[in-house]
């Protein structure tokens, strides 16, 4: 019988992004916040992540050489403290990471991404093998770290957990990379990391990790079905007994209306005056009218990647009808050129109602969450989503599609008993989105007391990382007690 896991664990997390040092999406927020939450619970956490261009230089605490794809790479590890018991180690290898983009440039993936992220995994395994007190468990995130469980198995490392943040991104490479990355052809099978005759970094993580998690319970179920499986539904079904959905939390220090440095004044569920001030500041930064009529009009906010996944095609289908809603829109994000152009065109046609910022700006993101009345998130699929939780914390009512983590975090408003936190729609159709949005706008205009109750319902919800971190600790201790010795197979293609 395996020994009982210790109360305090040593955890190595491996991820391609970590906020605020590197970020293209929610992955960065999750990895740093989880590391800090685990540290607050008394566990010792090291988060290993690349040092990309533009990141400040920190003290170097270790150096090593890693062989990858027929070349040797000199790697420095620089350290920064994240919080109590939690630190980040930046993998500094300029030939691989000192580039304009994290994964691609001008929309084209770097052709050596296999080397770049194979090296990240290999560095993590090399580092832990040299520690006097090695980690009890390794937690790898998304396809970029998918080779980590494979390298751990080959070197007899500790058990591993692999988290899928978005199954649509799979890191599928030409199979010629297999020997170049130090992998064996004996694992290039349906039960290993072969995926339609390609090397899949994601499948490697799924097949070889001791346990797999996703970022919400509903998404864990969805990805076992073809509609949301992106070809991996059979793979995920093969691991259903070692698959857990754990809802992401949010950083309640970073996203706190009572102490948010980006807001003109603080507010909470007992006093929403500061929210009105945030609305004025939001309209002002987007150069929209701030007169009495404009302040009375509902503001709909979006912070989103401008891609089909986020429901931009639904919005495009109803774009000409947006002014008829008699609301203002404040939009922040980047993505496909056609959607960026769509928003720019709409803003030019209705400059008093639609404000758009193409790019990312932290202040605008916080002002949208705080100053908007409604947050729009009509996703085609959503593994977890963070913005709807930010919105609830700031008293901004979400209008979302009933998928993934959105179902797990937003409860439909019930007019009879005043329960619920937002508005949901199920069918992926423009008419369904319009109906949900119109219902929210009607409540805002006609029933201010019910609207205030709806806001406060959301603000009282607990989405802190402490709850989620406790669930991850259960998974960590579980794999330490019952680790597998061989992959269970990723069959089903």
Distance CA 126, CA 109 (A): 27
Q: Compute the residue count for the chain.
A: 493
Q: Which domains does the chain have, with CATH numbers?
A: 10-249+466-481 (3.40.50.2000), 273-463 (3.40.50.2000)
CB count in 10 Å sphere of residue 396: 29
**Residue 16: its pLDDT value, please?**
98
| Assigned token pair, 257 | 């209306």
Name which of 296, 290, 361, 288 is nearest 329 in CA terms.
Answer: 288
pLDDT band with cut points at 50, 70 and 90 for residue 492 = low
**Residue 7: its pLDDT value, please?**
87
| H-run or E-run covering 5 | none
| Assigned token pair, 106 | 């001008």
* Chain segment 98-115, per-residue pLDDT in tens: 999 999 988 899 999 999
**Residue 487: its pLDDT value, please?**
52
**Residue 486: its pLDDT value, please?**
46
The three-point CA angle 364-297-457 to 5° equals 70
**Residue 69: its pLDDT value, please?**
94
* Chain segment 379-410, per-residue pLDDT in tens: 999 999 999 999 999 999 999 999 999 999 99
Which residue's structure tokens are 């910022």? Answer: 357
Q: Which residues contact 414 (CB under 8 A, 6 or more apart)?
A: 420
CB–CB of 485/230 below 8 Å? no
CB count in 10 Å sphere of residue 293: 8
CB count in 10 Å sphere of residue 84: 12
| Assigned token pair, 111 | 């052709």
Which residue's structure tokens are 């429901």? Answer: 311
CB–CB of 15/142 below 8 Å? yes
Name which of 182, 185, 34, 56 is nearest 119 in CA terms.
Answer: 182
pTM of the model: 0.90
Q: How many CA atoms lie within 13 A of 431 on its CB side?
A: 0
* Chain segment 205-260, per-residue pLDDT in tens: 999 999 999 999 999 999 999 999 999 999 999 999 999 999 999 988 889 999 99
* Chain segment 250-273, per-residue pLDDT in tens: 988 889 999 999 999 999 999 999
DSSP string, 8-28: S-EEEEE-S-BTTTB-SSHHH
């Amino acid at each position: 019988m395996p020994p009982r896991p210790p109360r305090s664990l040593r955890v190595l997390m491996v991820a391609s992004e970590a906020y605020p040092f590197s970020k293209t999406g929610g992955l960065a927020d999750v990895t740093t916040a989880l590391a800090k939450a685990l540290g607050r619970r008394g566990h010792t956490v090291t988060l290993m992540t690349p040092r990309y261009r533009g990141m400040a230089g920190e003290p170097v605490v270790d150096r090593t050489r890693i062989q990858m794809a027929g070349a040797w790479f000199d790697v420095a590890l620089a350290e920064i403290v994240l919080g109590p018991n939690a630190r980040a180690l930046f993998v500094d290898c300029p030939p691989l990471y000192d580039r304009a983009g994290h994964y691609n440039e001008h929309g084209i993936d770097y052709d050596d991404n296999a080397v770049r992220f194979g090296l990240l995994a290999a560095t993590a395994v090399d580092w832990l093998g040299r520690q006097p007190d090695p980690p009890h468990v390794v937690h790898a995130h998304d396809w970029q770290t998918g080779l980590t469980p494979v390298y751990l198995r080959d070197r007899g490392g500790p058990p591993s957990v692999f988290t899928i943040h978005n199954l649509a991104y799979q890191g599928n490479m030409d199979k010629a990379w297999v020997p170049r990355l130090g992998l064996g052809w004996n694992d290039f099978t349906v039960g290993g990391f072969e995926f339609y005759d390609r090397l899949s970094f994601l499948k490697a993580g799924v097949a070889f990790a001791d346990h797999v998690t996703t970022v919400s319970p509903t998404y864990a179920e969805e990805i076992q079905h073809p509609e949301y499986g992106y070809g991996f539904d059979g793979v995920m079904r093969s691991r259903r007994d070692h698959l857990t959905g754990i809802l992401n939390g949010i950083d309640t220090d970073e996203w706190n209306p009572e102490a948010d440095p980006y807001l003109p004044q603080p507010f909470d569920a007992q006093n929403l005056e500061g929210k009105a001030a945030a609305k004025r500041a939001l309209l002002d930064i987007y150069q929209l009218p701030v007169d009495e009529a404009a302040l009375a009009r509902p503001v709909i906010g979006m912070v989103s990647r401008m891609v089909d996944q986020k429901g931009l095609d639904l919005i495009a289908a109803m774009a000409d009808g947006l002014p008829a809603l008699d609301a203002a829109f404040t939009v922040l994000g980047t993505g496909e050129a056609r959607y960026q152009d769509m928003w720019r065109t709409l803003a030019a046609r209705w400059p008093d109602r639609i404000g758009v910022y193409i790019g990312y700006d932290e202040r605008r993101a916080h002002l949208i969450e705080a100053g908007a009345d409604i947050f729009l998130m009509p996703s085609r699929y959503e593994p977890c989503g963070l913005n709807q939780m930010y919105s609830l914390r700031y008293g901004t009512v979400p209008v979302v599609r009933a998928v993934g983590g959105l179902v797990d975090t937003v409860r439909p408003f019930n007019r009879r008993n005043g329960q619920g936190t937002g508005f949901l729609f199920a069918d992926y159709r423009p008419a369904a989105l319009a109906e949900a949005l119109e219902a929210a706008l009607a409540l805002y205009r006609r029933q201010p007391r019910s609207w205030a109750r709806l806001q406060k319902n959301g603000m009282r919800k607990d989405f802190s990382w402490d709850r989620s971190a406790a669930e991850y600790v259960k998974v960590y201790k579980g794999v330490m007690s019952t680790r597998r010795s061989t992959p269970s197979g990723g069959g089903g293609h």
